[in-house]
Amino acid sequence: MPNACPQRPSRPPLRSFSYGGGWQSTAALALAARGELDYRTFLMANVGDDSENPATLRYIERHAAPFARDHGLELVLLHKVMKRTGEVRTLYQDLTRPGSRSLRIPIRMSNGAPGTRSCTVEFKIKVIGQELLRRGATASAPATVGIGISLDEIHRANKRRCEPYERIEYPLLELGIRRNDCIRIIRNAGLPVPPKSACWFCPFQRAETWHERRRSQPELFNRACELEDLLNRRRDDLGKDHVFLTRFGRPLRQVIAEGVDTLPLDEFDTGCDSGWCMT
């Protein structure tokens, strides 16, 4: 009998880390470079060069990406691509395109409660999921996805939507690492500490963050005010209540007044440090 064809060795399951560009995921990048975390691939779902905090994108270009290359790590920025047209679609484009009724971000209703949120699923989870599938992840051979949640945010663990072709890990929790530890790890790697990662118009930002944006990024702050105005003009056309980028039920330019410091009792500011926002 002829010899059977030799079987090709199966590829090891993909291990990737969800990179958000903030403290936790940059600390994970530094730990992987030292061989203390078993991840060689870092995937970032970039919701758009016109949507991400520009400071985060500059940090990745100037610091994180060169660091990854120097240490043999793969850091890949991914984008949402429309299946029918092949065009890249950003979150800001989705919110502002003519005729759009999209409110994918957790915009605040008139009572201060966040509205329906689909930005994370559509522009992060699905984008990275498509890349995992492209790289061979399946339900029978799921990819491992590391999420950068630190010990002081343990309440956020196990809230991430999990697809059949992926398995979620929280390596910073396993190492007992807190946010302040991340700063030390990043600096010990010779990297500057990155800015907080989030869309510049994210309604989950603290008043303190909005005040800082008005001081240091006035053009971006004004664009956020204009976005809020646009969404509310559309709400007027539909006969619906106004929505806001803060929980205070007033327009952003009124809440974050020039020359006024922070508002009290506004502690909720999550960002996208783990690459998945709050999911």
The domains of the chain, with CATH numbers, are 15-82+118-199 (3.40.50.620)
pLDDT tens digits, one per residue of 83-97: 889 999 999 999 998
119 pLDDT more than 50: yes
pLDDT tens digits, one per residue of 135-182: 999 999 999 999 999 999 888 887 566 789 999 999 999 999 999 999
Q: How confident is the model at residue 81 (pLDDT cuts 50, 70, 90)?
A: very high
| pLDDT top residue among 149 and 11 | 149
Query: Do 150 and 32 meet the contact criterion of CB atoms below 8 Å apart?
Result: no
Q: How confident is the model at residue 33 (pLDDT cuts 50, 70, 90)?
A: very high
Query: Do 198 and 268 meet the contact criterion of CB atoms below 8 Å apart?
Result: no
Query: Do 251 and 94 meet the contact criterion of CB atoms below 8 Å apart?
Result: no
Helix (H) or strand (E) holding 143: strand 143-146
Q: How confident is the model at residue 39 (pLDDT cuts 50, 70, 90)?
A: very high
146 DSSP β-pair partners = 17, 169
Give pLDDT, residue 258. 67
Give pLDDT, residue 233. 94
| pLDDT top residue among 104 and 131 | 131
Q: What is the distance between the alpha carbons of residues 217 and 29, in angstroms, rounded to a whole number?
A: 28
